[in-house]
Chains A and B, each alone.
Chain A
């Protein structure tokens, strides 16, 4: 019988052997649920501590997965929140290069206008280098940091 999982607004089928029960004992069901949670954690880490609700709908087995409040994304969320809160910016080198290209194509560049751009070009190249230095520093620190096992099996493994 086909089984589907509903998790965080998504619905997808799961392999039958993943939810197969050797018997109807509570222990077998507990092991099945743990097995399913581990598998689902590949999709969403929040599934690790989720509540599973089993029901039948139109001849299908539906498993509603509800992540537990207060425990989801303990590790991930602060990082995600910081990333989301970061203002979106285009690298100054890109934005200025595009602006100049547009003015060049529309024949709006001459010496006086180009001279007015000189300081902006200097700033863009300098700011860009600052940003790249920061990224480079982050990259070096990531390389140097001690490897730690993930609590979740990465997708595809």
Chain B
């Protein structure tokens, strides 16, 4: 087959320019790293892929101009399926030798990114109400969404001031589920969850996640944590939206109390 011959010849083509030689070394380093991780995280699939390479049915290195070899595509797909999400639609499908993820893991956040794909008006009602509570949007955006008698919630006074995260969490912990997850929804909105998946944004992207075991394990751990936060936030928002008239005031009470706690703490310093 012509493509096989072309690939065979390509392997014999020696670099003639320094930049070409350097690119090949970077590629070799990256290929080795992918293989090492593949063997570590998916040993059975790794053995199958290596058997294909040894029998000459697949190549060890990506073909010229392509981003990944077949076993690397398999590895990335397995990462996406079993460890954490990868934007395969561009990492793999649109890959070329120039866009290959040589050293860094392409982390695509799954949180809110206002102004870059998300607008407050398009978010679910519960989140919009929280943005109102924290003073990010005025009450009038709800004019056609929340009608009488539920719109009475906008008459409730809201304390102004900073909220100390741990104090809000303490207040929430005294409430019953799912109101007790209120602080998680606030952390989610504020990109303060401690997980790169929910905290990274277009303006503050994650660009230093290297293909190392430590980083992969951290991303796996953080992804599980992010999923838990999303699940609890959803449960809280479901509860809030189910009875806005009665549940929003409870949320507001905790919020106001946390502001007062924060002010008291600051006065005591």
> A: which residues have CB within 8 A of B?
91, 93-94, 96-98, 100-101, 104-105, 109-111, 114-115, 117-118, 121-122, 124-125, 128
Contact of B26 with A by CB under 8 A: yes
Give the CA-CA distance A105 to B35 in the complex, in Å. 18
* Cβ contact within 8 Å between A97 and B15: yes
* Other 13 A-B pairs with CB < 8 A, given A93-B21, A101-B11, A105-B12: A93-B22, A96-B25, A97-B15, A97-B22, A98-B14, A101-B12, A101-B13, A104-B11, A109-B60, A117-B32, A118-B32, A125-B26, A128-B18
Residues of B within 8 A of A98 (CB): 14-15, 21
- Min CB distance A37 to B, Å, is 42
Given contacts A91-B18, A104-B60, contact A97 B32 (CB under 8 A): no
* Cβ contact within 8 Å between A115 and B32: yes
* Cβ contact within 8 Å between B11 and A94: no
Give the CA-CA distance A114 to B31 in the complex, in Å. 9
Contact of B28 with A by CB under 8 A: yes
12 residue pairs bridging A and B, Cβ less than 8 Å apart:
A97-B24, A101-B13, A101-B14, A104-B11, A104-B60, A104-B61, A111-B39, A114-B28, A114-B32, A124-B25, A125-B22, A125-B26
* Cβ contact within 8 Å between A97 and B21: yes
Given contacts A104-B60, A105-B11, A115-B36, contact A121 B28 (CB under 8 A): yes
* Cβ contact within 8 Å between A118 and B29: yes
Residues of A within 8 A of B29 (CB): 118, 121-122
B13, B24, B36: residue with the most chain A Cβ atoms closer than 10 Å = B24
Residues of A within 8 A of B25 (CB): 93, 96-97, 100, 121, 124-125
Interface of A is mostly: helix
Give the CA-CA distance A117 to B18 in the complex, in Å. 19
Give the CA-CA distance A94 to B26 in the complex, in Å. 12
Residues of B within 8 A of A97 (CB): 14-15, 20-22, 24-25
Give the CA-CA distance A128 to B12 in the complex, in Å. 23
Give the CA-CA distance A127 to B21 in the complex, in Å. 14
- Min CB distance B40 to A, Å, is 11
Residues of A within 8 A of B36 (CB): 111, 115
Residues of B within 8 A of A109 (CB): 60
- Min CB distance A95 to B, Å, is 9
- Min CB distance B107 to A, Å, is 24
Give the CA-CA distance A110 to B47 in the complex, in Å. 12
Query: Which residues of chain B (80-110) have a CB below 8 Å from chain A?
Result: none
Residues of A within 8 A of B32 (CB): 111, 114-115, 117-118
- Min CB distance B199 to A, Å, is 32
Residues of B within 8 A of A96 (CB): 21, 25
Give the CA-CA distance A104 to B7 in the complex, in Å. 12
Give the CA-CA distance A90 to B31 in the complex, in Å. 25
- Min CB distance A116 to B, Å, is 10
Give the CA-CA distance A104 to B18 in the complex, in Å. 19
Residues of B within 8 A of A101 (CB): 11-15, 24
Give the CA-CA distance A128 to B15 in the complex, in Å. 15
* A91 nearest CB neighbor, chain B only: B18
